[in-house]
Structure 1
């Protein structure tokens, strides 16, 4: 996969109240859902973006539920300036004041897999909530040839945060829950399954490599991204 990723993950601007929405379950409001055009352009797993060129950004769609219970919150974030969508998602969940005695599950659909920095932040976040289960489904792999990003993906799995490549079912679920679908079923684009299988194979090869606990911190230090706290 040759992702047409920007130098900085995500672009400037706002989608809604700073690039996110939180929709109360069952309120029927579609105003702040992803448009069909945004969904297909940003979540599309095609190998290359054909003309006319458009910039692929990072979107995080999330659904927070009580374990085997109702949905508490759902919404999406996109990158805003220098703040990655994953970090904005973490900030939102932290602000909800979750009950430590309850068990929760969060499902995320993400356009690009987390970078090394966000992988570390996600791990630290889940360690604050031992009763929270986080699953991440990704459309594409972000700069997968960078060793620090590969290490970040392995570290997420080692920390019981599975990162799984989206297939038809995941795209359909994301379309149903986060796109202004106007009641229309999800329509697959050409070669969706073929592209998904190719990305899955690439991710599997990355995960099969040995996990080096200090490798991610060393790699990020070389990039001068600041200290990494895995604790």
Structure 2
């Protein structure tokens, strides 16, 4: 068996999930991870983990600058599991720019998440509380798929995010392409729109419309 080059991940076998990566967050991930985890089939097999691609921008005095970007994965080891959303909040609250916000209340933060699954209700509750406590943070959540969309507590979690000021939406084909360009290692290769990407996006958007009570047009 040929040795795998350090820092690269082997292409996952068909119908099997790629092995976890060693660090959290990473700056980019492979196209195989992207296609495997960000497919917008409503109920794909073996996609138990959640991947969160983030970008944070700070605005002060009319000037905008990037605070950071990268990809978080659910942490399952070595201690208690931590979902990707909470990994992000822990990372974000540790950033010097955010900690210094008390000295510069005019600063605003625009946070964008591209997620393979929408947040579970426990994470939604924590994120909503964070947004209510930090009104200078504006969060946009773009999800490839909806996590247990028929369960009332998960529906309420999404509504709580919206009530806390978050923009919650389903990823469109254009969003998938943007995520590819920003977070995939070999993004210079052409992004291939998979079969059903548009229909699935519209179907999921309509499901989210029913949950949030907003009009969505495809």
Shorter-chain TM-score: which interval?
Answer: 0.7 to 0.9
Pair 38,13 (structure 1): closer, same or farther in 2 beyond 3 Å: closer
Counterpart mapping for 1:34-183 below 5 A = 34-49=29-44, 54-67=46-59, 69-81=64-76, 82-97=81-96, 98=98, 99-100=100-101, 101=104, 102-183=107-188
- Which ranges of 4 or more aligned residues in structure 1 deviate by more than 3 Å? 11-14, 53-56
SS in 1 for 2:119: coil
Counterpart mapping for 1:193-208 below 5 A = 193-208=198-213
Q: Distance between the aligned counterparts of 1:148 and 1:56, measured in 2?
A: 19
The aligned counterpart of 2:196 is 191
What 5-or-longer segments of structure 1 have no aligned partner? 1-10, 24-32, 210-231
Q: Distance between the aligned counterparts of 1:47 and 1:182, measured in 2?
A: 25
Pair 60,182 (structure 1): closer, same or farther in 2 beyond 3 Å: closer
Q: Distance between the aligned counterparts of 2:122 and 2:180, measured in 1?
A: 28
How many residue pairs align between the two structures? 185
What is the TM-score with the length of structure 2 in the denominator?
Answer: 0.79
Q: Distance between the aligned counterparts of 2:111 and 2:42, measured in 1?
A: 28
Q: CA deviation at 1:182?
A: 4.4
What is the TM-score with the length of structure 1 in the denominator?
Answer: 0.74
Q: CA offsets per residue over residues 13-59 of structure 1, 9 Å max, x none?
A: 74242x322x4xxxxxxxxx21111001100102343xxx5434200
Whether the 8 Å CA contact 1:110–1:139 is kept in 2: the answer is yes
Whether the 8 Å CA contact 2:54–2:114 is kept in 1: the answer is yes
SS in 1 for 2:144: strand
